[in-house]
């Protein structure tokens, strides 16, 4: 008898992604507001993450995207992860970052 692990919810994936940090800012990408969406396809075991970065010229983009992929793939039930990097809407920490991050960054 083969058992299959239940797929995580989008909220559970987002919670797991809180561990991924922007290496330059040393803050979580979820709290920074860089994760725009998480879609879970339970039948296929797939997770799709739509995200942005603090800058289109970010030299560590591949590192962050790989961290997102690895974090999602480590969640029980996830077979594969696709990371879609988008630039619209442009990241704006004044409206997208958590209150704690805005305070740390000095954004009132």
Number of domains making up the chain: 1
Q: Is residue 35 part of a domain?
A: yes
Q: What is the mean pLDDT of each run of 10 residues along the chain (108 residues)?
A: 73 98 94 98 94 93 97 97 96 94 89
CATH number of 28's domain: 3.30.300.130
Residues recorded for the chain:
108
Give residue 108's pLDDT.
73
Question: What residues make up the domain containing 73?
Answer: 10-102
Give residue 42's pLDDT.
87
Q: Supply the pTM of this predicted model.
A: 0.90
With beta carbons less than 8 A apart as the criterion, state whether 105 and 95 touch: no
The DSSP code for 38 is: E
With beta carbons less than 8 A apart as the criterion, state whether 31 and 64 touch: no
Q: How far is CA 84 from CA 30, 37, 48, 52, in A?
A: 15, 10, 7, 8
């Amino acid at each position: 008898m083969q058992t299959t692990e239940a797929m995580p919810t989008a909220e559970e994936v987002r919670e797991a992604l809180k561990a991924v940090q922007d290496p330059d800012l040393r803050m979580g990408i979820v709290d920074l507001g860089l994760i725009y969406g998480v879609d879970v396809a339970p039948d296929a075991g797939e997770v799709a993450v739509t995200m942005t970065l603090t800058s289109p010229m970010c030299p560590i983009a591949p590192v962050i995207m790989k961290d997102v992929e690895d974090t999602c793939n480590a969640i029980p039930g996830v077979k594969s992860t696709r990371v879609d990097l988008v630039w619209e809407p442009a990241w704006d920490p004044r409206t997208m970052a958590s209150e704690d991050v805005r305070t740390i960054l000095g954004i009132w």
